Chains A and B, each alone.
Chain A
């Protein structure tokens, strides 16, 4: 058996797996997005563009914009919190570096839904945080944290921040420390050195982190469902409701397809940048 033949066979099980459990369902969603609902409320395949017309109905525009807005806020917060953390571990973690990374990663093995419920328990009106604030006299009355947009964004940040920290850690760790010394030798202040040396040198990690956080955050429904209020409806919630409450699978499918196209644009942008970045390094 030639090595080419070997590799062809080697990818066969994985290829079948992907085809059956990913590509086929995806095609079904695509096909159903052109379908309609029958008298029993069942989705029926067909050839209509009505569902796509509905996606761009003015009613749903605020939902789409809100989702993008929350996701962008999530990306910015993740970057502001994640960068110092990744920087500290990569440059000053020393021999505890891997222990610190493990301490960050292990909580993320717990299901996202369960972690979000933990937030409900922490932030509810009579939750731990509010009890502490009232006991310390910092607040007269419990503060309404949950059922607000802030809680939803907070939940998203907590849910996806690891996807920011890991690529940042990778790029900061790979950076040659002597370039920072060079910046200082040229009389750069710590801030200017950071701005003109460290930041550009870790650009690839920043870009990867932003994209990896943005993509799942836009489509998220768990955070808005558990931590949200009346005005935090996201596109993920809209899609979920089409399948489980409104029994309009074709419209839910059309929303899903548009959503995936939108995310694919970002993904392609990211991949192009990343591959060009690699070419420059080589």
Chain B
């Protein structure tokens, strides 16, 4: 040791350099500011280049991309993200994508950060049949920046061969028959949210004493868990889960993968049913925003919406999509989403202040630790 080739003086110099760098960086964000000059320009629907889609994996029927590519003579490429935070990071760093699929809360964040571009929804031919809720939603007044892609509820799914003592409450996450083989969604909002509802609090409460109570609830529930996971389909189908907190579309997918679909049932809970939507937006880094808008319209076309819902199991709030989902869940209406639920923004996850967001993530970390 001691022979790294640095003497005292060089070491001091290096230290000073590091300090100077840190001082120079102070106040800067991790990502270098990107060119946001396009943030105000309204996008026009016209083919202006190839398309790069940035989406969850397995969330769109590939045949819809192919038919669009064939019709308009452009390439339609797709890359995937694992979580919305990673998507944000890539966008902030200037990654160029033409179409992204954020949740409602992330649309608001993207809008506030000027990372998405406005477009005129009336220029979309297939937007007329969209559910009224999306005309003027809380996260995007007048719907200038987003159109809906899919929506979902959060509830509890279980294997009917193993569990038959459900009560229609979030308390079922501590069901005794399923004890030790229960999964909770590995998502801080879904985890804390159901505990808030169970305790009779507002879904998105930011009151510290209430969050503490919900943390204790979660620590109790954790004792019966087999794990935290968002991979509900695999957990149900592989038999690892007797019961799991789940998004309704995943239950449709799990039922599609077994010989007897009736072994998987789904309930929404009386204390409250969280609802969510995924939207389509055009990032300001898009190189082909016009093509992206044309593609949005293509996805909302009734026959494409129908095909897509049959493929991914999640309802789309547009003509064609609604009919397809009704067909998928005709044997188990509990999986369906009542459109009135969508209008209830108290049942959507939204943490309006950064402080609340930090407190929630800290509590979730403490629960998982």
Residues of chain A touching chain B, judged by Cβ–Cβ distance below 8 Å, are 27-28, 30-32, 34, 37-47, 59-60, 62-63, 124-126, 142, 144, 146-147, 228-231, 233, 237-238, 241-249, 268, 271-272, 275
Contact = CB atoms under 8 A, between A and B. Distances in A.
B368 A241 contact: yes
Contacts of A242: 365
B332 to A, nearest CB: 24
B85 to A, nearest CB: 5
B369 interface: yes
B21 A31 contact: yes
B24 to A, nearest CB: 9
Nearest to B188: A245
Interface in B86-141: 86, 88, 92, 109, 112-113
A239 to B, nearest CB: 11
B361 A43 contact: no
A152 B88 CA distance: 31
Contact of B30 (A32, A63, A125, A241): A32
A142 B242 CA distance: 14
B112 A246 contact: no
B25 interface: yes
Interface of B: 1, 18, 21-22, 25-31, 82-83, 85-86, 88, 92, 109, 112-113, 180-181, 187-188, 222, 225-228, 238-240, 354, 357-358, 361-362, 364-366, 368-369
Contacts of B22: 31, 34, 45, 47
A42 B29 contact: yes
22 contacts: A27-B21, A37-B358, A40-B113, A41-B354, A45-B22, A59-B365, A124-B240, A125-B238, A142-B239, A147-B240, A228-B227, A229-B225, A229-B226, A230-B222, A230-B228, A231-B222, A233-B368, A241-B368, A243-B85, A246-B364, A248-B358, A248-B361
A231 B369 CA distance: 7
Given A34-B22, A238-B369, A245-B361, A45 B1 contact: no
A144 B28 CA distance: 49
B152 to A, nearest CB: 19
Contacts of A237: 368
A126 B239 contact: yes
B85 A47 contact: no
Contacts of A41: 88, 109, 354, 357
Contact of B369 (A47, A62, A147, A249): A62
A230 B361 contact: no
A242 B368 CA distance: 12
Given A41-B357, A241-B368, A244-B86, 5 more contacts: A30-B18, A40-B113, A45-B27, A124-B238, A271-B1
A118 to B, nearest CB: 14
B29 A43 contact: yes
Given A27-B18, A230-B227, A275 B1 contact: yes
Given A40-B109, A233-B369, A268-B1, A247 B29 contact: no
A275 B181 CA distance: 51
B369 A31 contact: no
Contacts of B18: 27, 30
Nearest to B82: A244
A230 B226 contact: yes
Contacts of B358: 37, 246, 248
B21 to A, nearest CB: 7
B191 to A, nearest CB: 11
A42 B25 CA distance: 14
A139 B240 CA distance: 17
A246 B228 CA distance: 15
A269 B1 CA distance: 11
A245 B89 CA distance: 12
A43 B30 contact: yes
Contacts of B21: 27, 31
A247 B354 CA distance: 11
A31 B366 CA distance: 25
Nearest to A31: B22
A38 B240 contact: no
B82 A230 contact: no
Nearest to B24: A45
The CB with the most chain A CB atoms within 10 A, among B18, B27, B31, B188, is that of B27
Contacts of B222: 230-231
Contacts of A243: 85
Contacts of A44: 27-30
Contact of A238 (B92, B227, B365): B365
B218 to A, nearest CB: 10
B92 A245 contact: no
A198 B214 CA distance: 58
Given A31-B25, A126-B238, A230-B225, A42 B369 contact: no
Nearest to B355: A39
